[in-house]
């Protein structure tokens, strides 16, 4: 309502207003189609670690936060510069997996976080010597 009032306030011609509405509607339809076509990712664990399967590609996950409701994982990219300034995160909610799979994944994530912290502490200790 406010947007329409602002458009009429500035005397936007009807042609331009119609183009604006068509453009916004087209973008909305494109976003909905993209979300509809996007398949739900599969999460799993193997001997290499946790992974997510998105569009036929396996992507490794590095867990950074864990709680009873969600797991937050970082997806390392090929570009380290891009990964440093614009990291890619995945949130895995408890209700997106069955109970046993979520417990197993949460246990693995906790172990991975503890191992990562101990490796960082070891590197700091070595650099201090």
- Triad 120, 122, 123: Cα angle to 5°: 65
Range of the domain at 23: 2-37
Helices marked H in 38-98: 80-85
For residues 73 and 50, is the Cβ–Cβ distance under 8 A? yes
Give whichever of 21-25, 46-50, 66-70, 111-115 has the largest mean pLDDT: 21-25
Count of structural domains within the chain:
2
pLDDT tens digits, residue range 4-56? 666 565 677 878 888 989 999 999 999 998 887 776 778 888 888 888 887 77
One domain for residues 15 and 48: no
User: pTM here?
Assistant: 0.61
Structure tokens at 103: 């417990």
One domain for residues 24 and 56: no
Percent of the chain topping pLDDT 70 = 88
One domain for residues 26 and 49: no
One domain for residues 31 and 90: no
One domain for residues 51 and 6: no
């Amino acid at each position: 309502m406010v947007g329409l009032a602002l458009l009429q306030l500035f005397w936007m011609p009807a042609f331009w207003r119609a183009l604006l509405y068509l453009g916004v509607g087209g973008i909305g339809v494109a976003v909905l189609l993209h979300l509809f076509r996007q398949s739900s990712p599969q999460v799993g664990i193997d001997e290499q670690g946790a992974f997510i399967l998105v569009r036929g590609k396996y992507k490794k996950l590095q867990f950074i936060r864990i709680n009873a409701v969600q797991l937050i994982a970082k997806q390392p990219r090929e570009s380290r510069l891009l990964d440093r300034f614009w990291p890619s995160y995945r949130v895995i909610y408890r209700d997106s997996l069955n109970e046993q799979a979520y417990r197993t994944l949460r246990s693995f994530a906790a172990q991975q976080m503890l191992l990562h912290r101990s490796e960082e502490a070891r590197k700091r200790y070595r650099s201090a010597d």
